[in-house]
Amino acid sequence: MRLRFSGEIWYWRGPSPFYFVTVPEEQCRDLREVSAALTYGWGCLPCTVTLGGSTWRTSMFPKDGGYIVPLKAKVRRAEEVDDGMVVDLQLALDTAPA
């Protein structure tokens, strides 16, 4: 399954701070349909993400009935994006954990 969407980068200040983009509800419905077959635990879904010229493997995390995509610091620096900016992401679900 491949997804393409835009979303705002947000910063989570928890014990392990990180930046994320929330997957829109429409795409989350599609993800929920295949999640049982792809999750490797805690509802995480392995995927390959592309933002601009950067592509990396990661896992989407379930949150509040939807999914969030983590953005690595290396990618944010390379693509010159930060908290509050809207970005275009492409995702391809993987069959093995990242």
Query: What would the DSSP string read from start to end of 27-86?
Result: HHHHHHHHHHHH--STT-EEEEEEETTEEEEEEEEEETTEEEEEE-HHHHHHHT--TT-E
Name the pLDDT band for 96 (thresholds 50, 70, 90): low
- CATH 2.40.30.100, applies to 2-93: yes
- DSSP secondary structure letters along 3-30: EEEEEEEEEE-SSS-EEEEEPPHHHHHH
Structure tokens belonging to residue 27: 């795409």
Q: Under a CB-based contact definition with an 8 Å cutoff, are residues 22 and 68 in contact?
A: yes
| pLDDT of 14 higher than 70 | yes
Name the pLDDT band for 94 (thresholds 50, 70, 90): confident
Q: What is the pLDDT of residue 40?
A: 76
**Amino acid in the structure at residue 97:** P
Report pLDDT digits (tens) over 24-82: 999 999 898 888 888 777 889 999 999 999 999 999 999 999 999 999 999 999 999 99
- Better pLDDT: 19 or 36: 19
Q: What is the pLDDT of residue 97?
A: 61
